[in-house]
Structure 1
């Protein structure tokens, strides 16, 4: 049975077309935000990138779905990324980079319903980040 949540559906369709989002997401991130590349070690950072993306996807799915708790990771990670010196704009931009990568992968299957759902969740995430106290 296909998921009714457009965000979840977009990830499932992307998974059918792309074995690993990690290189695509980080390629786009570093192209659009070159300052982000310096935040990762050159050696041994692939597992960190994959893990970070997997946790972010879990948080997005929970945030867009039942909100069982994984979405709280976003609030926690705002603080830890503040400690790393990551600008909040860059933290928020990572979520948009994921959405843009998904849109590229889905192409014509990126429906208005999926687009609306992503816009809504990105706006909500930005709000959560903006409200989080340092």
Structure 2
């Protein structure tokens, strides 16, 4: 595998080697760290919604961290829709950190200082972008 020079993309590539589906890991962490989110999902039939939401989030993250060709704009759209659902902005932003933390735990020793720094920078930028989308 040729590692991407984009550290965010690289973290997802490394995770893909270890795990075919991040969805259960991400939502297990989300529900543990933010138990109030569990009631936001139906008990029946929500697996598709969770998987779809995570896939769109990953697309937006990769575009935001890369070319910014358009998918990243989904973040601004979802800030508005989650506001309409009554989701606190801090909780919306926390989901991105949950994705990062899930990847960090999954990668273990392969989680480099460069990847950590790239994610730290990305989360600050997403927070600022989401705030400007208000």
Specify if TM > 0.5. yes
Q: TM-score of the superposition, structure 2-length normalised?
A: 0.98
Per-residue deviation at 1:2? Answer: 2.2
CA distance in 1, matches of 2:48, 2:117: 32
Work out the CA distance in 2 between the residues paired with 1:95 and 1:62.
14
Task: Show the counterpart of 1:105.
Answer: 106
Residue 132 (structure 1) shift:
1.9
1:57 corresponds to: 58
Structure 1 runs (4+) greater than 6 angstroms displaced = none
**Which consecutive unaligned segments of at least 5 residues does structure 1 have?**
none
Please name the residue that 1:83 is paired with. Answer: 84
Count of matched residue pairs? 133
Distance in 2 (CA, whole Å) between partners of 1:38 and 1:85 is 12
Residue 23 of structure 1 aligns to a residue whose secondary structure is helix
In 1, the alpha carbon distance for the partners of 2:102 and 2:94 equals 12
SS at match of 2:42: coil
Q: Which runs of 5+ in 2 are unaligned?
A: none
Deviations 1:58-81 (A, max 9, x none): 000000001000000000000000
Deviations 1:76-125 (A, max 9, x none): 00000001111101000000000000000000100010000000110000
TM-align CA RMSD: 0.6
Q: How far does the alpha carbon of each residue in 1:19-49 deviate from its partner, in whole angstroms, 9 at most, with x for none? A: 1100000000000000111000000000000
What is the Cα deviation at residue 53 of structure 1?
A: 0.1
Q: Post-superposition shift, 1:128? A: 1.1
Partner residue, 1:13:
14
Question: For residue 120 of structure 1, what is the aligned residue in structure 2?
Answer: 121
Normalising by structure 1, we get a TM-score of 0.98
Instruction: Give the match's secondary structure for 1:68.
Output: coil
1:70 aligns with 2:71: yes
Alignment partners' CA distance in 2, 1:117 and 1:63: 12
Q: Does residue 23 of structure 1 match 2:24? A: yes
